[in-house]
Amino acid sequence: MIQQPGNKKSPYDDLEERAIWRKAVADTHPLQLSDLYRKKFSIDLGTRIATAGSCFAQHISNALKRNGFNFRDFEPAPPLLPSKLSRSYNYGVYSARFCNIYTARQLLQTFDRAFENFRPEEEPWIKEGGFADPFRPVLEPVPFCSIAELERSRQSHLAAVKDMFQQTDLFIFTLGLTEAWISKRDGAVFPLCPGTVAGTFDQEKYEFKNFNYFEIFEDLVAFMGKVRTLNPDMKFILTVSPVPLTATKTEAHVLSATTYSKSVLRAVAGHLASELDFVDYFPSFEIITAPPMRGIFYDSNLRTINSSGVDYVMSHFFKEHAAPLQSDCDEDNPDALPSIGDLEVVCEEMMQAQEIGYA
């Protein structure tokens, strides 16, 4: 005889509502989704936070500063530089003047350059009669007048990066792209294709690279290992940018290329967060791109994220990581500062697209 299971429960009988699509998503208004993110560790007033990543990561920096978190800026603007000009010179965008770091390999090489473990062979790029740093080609609105000036800026920047990794408790990194252009000589990764906003493209010197899952995973593991050897208590929050590619150099349709890129980045970030107790994952990508949202958080170009989308994403973050304090100036004058999403981001990829006519 076949024995009946009786009252034995299925493993699915006691699921929380957040685990059931109908209850958690289909029967819930998209702007009332809850419990999308549960923090792995806490952030308090004393937690020293640094950020880096692709364009969308700039919104996270802005939100942390506005909500009273201990966001650290290791390369602040000169005292006499007018505040309205600071962002055009990439001050205050991240915890150092990286400009955007789109790939895991670029992040790893930034660390190695700061600690003098990697010295790229690439010469400064020519730009409008001056010089541009190949690894920060849109750092300032005008190019450097001399290579010596560029080198001074670079050394100051790398010193700030070194301090950042030594004096930070939490590093938040937004993964942006799998596609990149690299040097054939030493594998140096550039944030933009040479010859777009600066420099000259030479197929003998540069090649296209679309990083795969294993390469990105290994780069992030190597990066975190090096950071925690230096700073054993460092924790990480990974997130994935919901901003699609402006263009792809692969053979795929740009929609398929975007899906590949974001899927791989999401898979790597999730894998690391599931395996390592010092790594958390925040679902900014899912919040913006989920089916219930129906694209409402994208601007008319279907790429950039509108202010409502940024605010909605960060509201989920702050439900778990409550602001340690609020600025008195916000209470006295709520119009003194713009909302999170109103702060304009600096996006090299968009500048590159404009240069080649794809924006």
Whether 108 maps to a domain, the answer reads yes
Whether 257 maps to a domain, the answer reads yes
Q: What is the pLDDT averaged over residues 130-148? A: 96
Whether 31 maps to a domain, the answer reads no
| Residue type, position 275, single letter | E
Q: Residue 314 is part of which domain span? A: 44-355
Whole-number average pLDDT of the chain: 90
- State pLDDT tens for residues 90-123: 999 999 999 999 999 999 999 999 999 999 999 9
Question: Which residue would you say has higher pLDDT here, 55 or 330?
Answer: 55
Whether 9 maps to a domain, the answer reads no
Whether 61 maps to a domain, the answer reads yes
For the chain, what's the residue count? 359
Whether 53 maps to a domain, the answer reads yes
- State pLDDT tens for residues 169-212: 999 999 999 999 999 999 999 999 999 999 999 999 999 999 99
- The CA-atom distances, in angstroms, between 345 and each of 5, 99, 155, 316 are 59, 11, 25, 21
- State pLDDT tens for residues 240-263: 999 999 999 999 999 999 999 999
* Nearest Cα to Cα of residue 321 among 78, 124, 133, 64: 64
Q: What is the pLDDT averaged over residues 29-33? A: 92
pLDDT of residue 58: 87
**Where do we find the tokens 């699509």?**
21
| Number of structural domains in the chain | 1
Whether 224 maps to a domain, the answer reads yes
Whether 230 maps to a domain, the answer reads yes
Question: Which residue would you say has higher pLDDT here, 36 or 2?
Answer: 36
| Other Cβ atoms within 10 Å of 170 Cβ, number | 22
The answer on pLDDT for 343 being more than 50 is: no
pLDDT of residue 300: 95
Whether 69 and 43 have beta carbons less than 8 Å apart is answered as: yes
